[in-house]
Amino acid sequence: MVCGGFICTKNALCALNIVYVLVGLLLIGVAGWGKWLDLVSSIRVVAGVIGVGVFLFVVAFVGLCGALKHHQVLLFFYMIILFIVFVVQFSVSCACLALNKEQQNHLLEVGWNKSEATQRDLEKTLDCCGFFHVPVNGTCPARCFHSPVTCNTCSESIQQYAGGVLRFVGGIGLFFSFTEILGVWLAHRYRNIKDPRTNPGAFL
């Protein structure tokens, strides 16, 4: 069977979904590991990462079952879901790469104000206090917060890495978005190829 036929397309689709399964399990494992070691105390962040990992795992599992069984319905829903994920991920990735400095600061400030647990995690990890102003009369888990206070604001510390992180996230997102459109194309092609092991006169 030449590459591009039934077996080759099936193997390529299976391999792609096995990679997605591993990535989904990796996300779940990293989130659980971070929470267990108390690196991340925000339940929302942990739940969000685990949710993305579970979603990716389920979608990949559906695609893998559809590829192994040449199941038309599973492959159809897999194509639709993967295409929607591609559109969302491609849009978010382009937005990450296109953000200017002012937009980055606004986005960081909004994220900072949403969760006190995330604030504490960042202050402890980056050894900083407050976003724009150091709370001299308040409390801060950073090591630098003592008398006299020598802490930098977290906005200064975060901005040193924000541009690079957004470019990295955007690049990774773009890479995976193109693998998703490849998955949609493979699933569409695989659905319309006859299985050589079945009745030659039948479409499926």
The gap from C-alpha 171 to its chain's centroid, in whole angstroms, comes to: 12
Residue 182, CA atoms < 13 Å, CB-side half-sphere: 14
What total number of domains does the chain contain? 1
DSSP readout, 72-107? HHHHHHHHHHHHHHHHHHHHHHHHHHH--HHHHHHH
Q: Do 78 and 86 meet the contact criterion of CB atoms below 8 Å apart?
A: no
Give, to the nearest 10 degrees, the angle between helix 43-69 and helix 6-36: 160
pLDDT in tens, the chain (204 residues): 445 577 888 889 999 999 999 988 888 888 777 666 655 555 666 777 788 889 999 999 999 999 998 888 999 999 999 999 999 988 888 887 787 777 777 777 777 777 777 777 777 777 788 777 777 677 777 777 775 557 777 877 777 777 777 788 888 888 888 999 999 999 999 888 876 666 454 444
166 Cβ contact list (under 8 Å, min separation 6):
96, 97, 99, 104
75 Cβ contact list (under 8 Å, min separation 6):
63, 66, 67, 187, 190, 191
Domain presence at residue 28: no
Token digits of residue 172: 């990774």
> Which structural domain range is residue 103 located in?
85-179
Domain presence at residue 17: no
Domain presence at residue 123: yes
Domain presence at residue 14: no
DSSP readout, 108-151? HHHHHHH-HHHHHHHHHHHTB-SSSS--TTS---STT-SSSP-P
Pick left, alpha or beta for residue 127 (phi over 0 → left; psi -120 to 50 → alpha; otherwise beta): left
CA distance 168 to 14: 27
25 Cβ contact list (under 8 Å, min separation 6):
53, 57
Confidence (pTM): 0.70
Domain presence at residue 144: yes
